[in-house]
Amino acid sequence: MRKKQTRRLDTSGEGIVAAAALLASGGLVALPTETVYGLGADATDGAAVAGIYEAKGRPSFNPLIAHVPDLASAERLALFDPISVRLANAFWPGPLTLVLPRRPDCPVSELATAGLDTLAIRVPDHPVARRLLEAVGRPVAAPSANRSGHVSPTTADHVLVDLDGRIDAVVDGGPTRVGVESTIVAVTDGVARILRPGGIARAAIEAVVGAPVADGPASDDVAPLAPGMLTSHYAPAARVRLDAAEILPGEALLAFGPVPPPGAERAVAVMNLSPAGDLVEAAANLFGMLRALDGAGTASLAVAPIPAEGLGEAIRDRLARAAAPRGDGASGA
Ligand code: TXA
Ligand code: MG
């Protein structure tokens, strides 16, 4: 691909106007959301959307999330039923993505939805993202702004490490608040299913739906994968060892909570997701600390046990992907 001059834009009115103009003319602009930074393009412009896949080096055309500023804009793209309206009212703006039937007149490019008859939509809870979406006036397709196979970026610097020279701009809105991606809930034929755990806990979704919510097919399975190949797209270079009961010689430690696992004193590097054992704080720190410890250059990274409740479900999901055996060309979201 041709090398681009990547601009770092600030969140002033001028920065937002410049970012909106780039998006409106088919450019690629990374933007902050409350979860992670997204790599945005005009979702109605197939060529711009193709640029996303090219910049990320994504091996397959995974469907993308369309970002809009409010529920009214979302209703112009997809068909809501009583359950999806309740979920949208409860969690938008916020880290919930709804997968809904596309409206027949939905202007989102087929490339952005990978030819599916459903559309993933979300209203992000970030002042910069919302100002930008309002200024563009079109849905913005945005996967996480990392190269395929890397962890999701939670700062503008992370974005530039992966995508400098490959995108037109990044709007620097500082570190993201939630730190893991949105929870993806499909609502079709009146039934809600969780496709990806994320920034909103299952219990909160179930409280709004008023019933237990089952898992649907994992969202990464939407694009066909070779049999037996696990997706490892949150993959650091180091091997990741989960639920480590003790630390082995030469390992780095990603700790959680006040009590270090046995052998912690011999870890070559230590970071703690949340010394207080707070899962919200841990989610916000997850990707940054994975990157930092991976940068310490050890071959193995031990991760302390993290409870599976609340945001712990999403944290454990991302760590399991980081620990998954690597397959060349694994689907990289
Ligand atoms: O928090 C987030 O969701 C971030 C920020 C930038 O909004 N975005 C994000 O996008 O994580 P991405 O592309 O990295 O992950 C989107 C996931 C993919 O696993 C994709 O397969 C799934 O959403 N997805 C998109 N459209 C879908 C559809 N119509 N049906 C099922 N899954 C879908
Ligand atoms: Mg991603």
Instruction: Map residue 273 onto helix, strand or coil.
Output: coil
pTM for the predicted model, two decimal places: 0.85
Q: Do residues 154 and 66 lie in contact, with contact meaning Cβ atoms separated by under 8 Å?
A: no
End-to-end CA distance of the chain: 20
One-letter amino acid at 164 equals D
- The structure tokens listed for 63 are 């469907």
| Residue with CA closest to ligand 1 atom 10 | 143
DSSP assigned state of 264: G
Instruction: Give the containing element (helix H, strand E) for 262.
Output: none
pLDDT of 167: 98
Q: Which two tokens stand for residue 189?
A: 């034929």
| Ligand 1 lined by 65 (C-beta under 6 Å) | yes
Span of 177-181, 188-192, 218-222, 317-321 with lowest mean pLDDT:
218-222
Length of the chain: 333
What atom of ligand 1 comes closest to residue 145's alpha carbon? Answer: 6
Phi, psi at residue 22, to the nearest 5°? -65, -45
Whole-number Å distance, alpha carbon 265 to ligand 1 midpoint, is 39
pLDDT digits (tens, 9 = 90+) for 6-27: 999 999 999 999 999 999 999 9
Domains by residue range for the chain, with CATH: 7-221 (3.90.870.10), 239-323 (3.40.50.11030)
Structure confidence by residue, pLDDT tens digits, 142-197: 999 999 888 899 999 999 999 999 999 999 999 999 999 999 999 999 999 999 99
Which residue, among 169, 146, 143, 141, has the nearest Cα to 158 in the 3D structure? 146
How many angstroms separate the CA atoms of 177 and 153, rounded?
12
In ligand 1, which atom is closest to the CA atom of 199?
Answer: 1
Mutate to test the pocket of ligand 1, among 184, 287, 311 (most ligand atoms within 8 A of CB): 184
- Say whether the peptide bond before residue 260 is cis (omega within 30 degrees of 0): no
Residue 67 to residue 98: CA distance in whole angstroms: 11
Distance CA 247, CA 295 (A): 19
pLDDT band at 296 (very low <50, low <70, confident <90, very high): confident
Confirm if 175 and 181 have CB atoms less than 8 A apart.
no
pLDDT: is 23 or 222 the higher one?
Answer: 23
